[in-house]
């Protein structure tokens, strides 16, 4: 059993939905069972699943441990962009999950990192995600931060919470996006009908995505995208919501559309943060990987795949 304290940041959300949105491994039905089983309190008092939260409410959740907690280290090639005693910056390939989850117990980036740096297992009391301070979708490639100590993990998580970490992505989307520079500000929540999807929803969490068009090509736009918040699937959901889904996105994109891509065309291109131990400004850049570069080359030449 582990205990989590969560603070409601908006009003009008049901308790069961809030718990499910905040704790990724819980479905709404699981959250409801925990609430009904007296494992959740609001401001120290038991509440019903339908209880409506207000900003500042403290929600405490006793989360049962999964059947297998510890991640088994698995040696695998790693593209390490930077490393010191406090942290690693890793260039994650598309197709690799960041940490094990339902249906994917092996082949994660974290398992490879733990095989390379066994000391990172001490970075967090939660044995399932030691060192993890943010995530990338399985089919999103690019730069990822991993904390090597508990102090670094705490410091980096605080920077993400304060939104002082700079996160820039490269994306290719269907359509001729206008204006050339803009922002999408729309709350995001889990889609109640499709649990693997997220959606723009009035009762969702605040989310803001900024973009700049780098070029227009036949049927597509090439973008630089900055995340001001870090909601699940945020870039993909926001761009699809305004009618410009990411090329190759199997969940939010149109079926059979051209050009095609082997995966979603989304790459974590630049990452900036303050070193958690020294305060030094750190910035790293990762170029497009070969699979996405080939797609971009084709569209720039006006070819259909």
Q: State the catalytic residues.
A: 137
279: alpha, beta or left? (left if phi > 0; alpha if psi -120 to 50): left
Does the bond joining 179 to the residue before it have cis omega, within 30 degrees of 0?
A: yes
3-class secondary structure, 191 = coil
Listed residue (7, 112, 121, 101) closest to 54, CA to CA: 7
Distance CA 41, CA 29 (A): 17
How far apart, in Å, are the Cα atoms of 195 and each of 14, 26, 212, 253? Answer: 17, 11, 31, 17
- If one counts every other C-beta atom within 10 angstroms of the C-beta of residue 231, the result is 20
Taking the C-alpha atoms of residue 249 and residue 232, their distance in angstroms, rounded to an integer, is 14
Q: Is the peptide bond preceding residue 83 cis, with omega within 30 degrees of 0?
A: no
Residues 6 or more apart in contact with residue 155 via CB below 8 angstroms: 147, 276, 277
If one counts every other C-beta atom within 10 angstroms of the C-beta of residue 207, the result is: 23
The count of other CB atoms within 10 Å of the CB of residue 105 is: 13
């Amino acid at each position: 059993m582990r205990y989590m304290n969560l603070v409601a940041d908006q009003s009008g959300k049901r308790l069961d939905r809030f718990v499910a949105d905040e704790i990724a491994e819980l479905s709404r039905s699981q959250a409801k069972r925990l609430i009904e089983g007296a494992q959740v309190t609001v401001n120290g008092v038991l509440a019903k699943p339908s209880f409506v939260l207000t900003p500042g409410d403290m929600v405490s959740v006793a989360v049962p441990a999964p059947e297998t907690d510890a991640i088994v280290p698995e040696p695998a090639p790693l593209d390490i962009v930077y490393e010191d005693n406090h942290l690693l910056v890793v260039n994650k390939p598309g197709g690799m999950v960041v940490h094990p989850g339902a249906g994917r117990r092996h082949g994660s980036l974290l398992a490879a990192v733990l095989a390379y740096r066994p000391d990172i297992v001490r970075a967090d009391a939660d044995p399932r995600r030691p060192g993890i301070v943010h995530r990338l979708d399985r089919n999103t490639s690019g730069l990822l931060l991993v904390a090597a100590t508990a102090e670094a993990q705490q410091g980096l998580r605080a920077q993400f919470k304060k939104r002082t970490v700079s996160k820039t992505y490269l994306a290719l989307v269907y359509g001729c996006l206008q204006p050339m520079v803009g922002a999408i500000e729309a709350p995001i929540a889990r889609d109640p009908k499709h649990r693997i999807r997220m959606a723009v929803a009035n009762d969702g969490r605040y989310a803001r995505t900024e973009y700049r068009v780098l070029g227009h090509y036949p049927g597509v736009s090439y973008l630089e995208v900055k995340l001001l918040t870090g909601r699940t699937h945020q870039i993909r959901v926001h761009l699809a919501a305004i009618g410009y889904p990411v090329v190759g996105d199997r969940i939010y994109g149109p079926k059979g559309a051209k050009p095609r891509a082997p995966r979603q065309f989304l790459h974590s291109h630049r990452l900036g943060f303050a070193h958690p131990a020294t305060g030094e400004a750190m910035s790293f850049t990762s170029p497009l990987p070969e699979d996405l570069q080939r797609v971009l080359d084709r569209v720039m030449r006006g070819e259909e795949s």
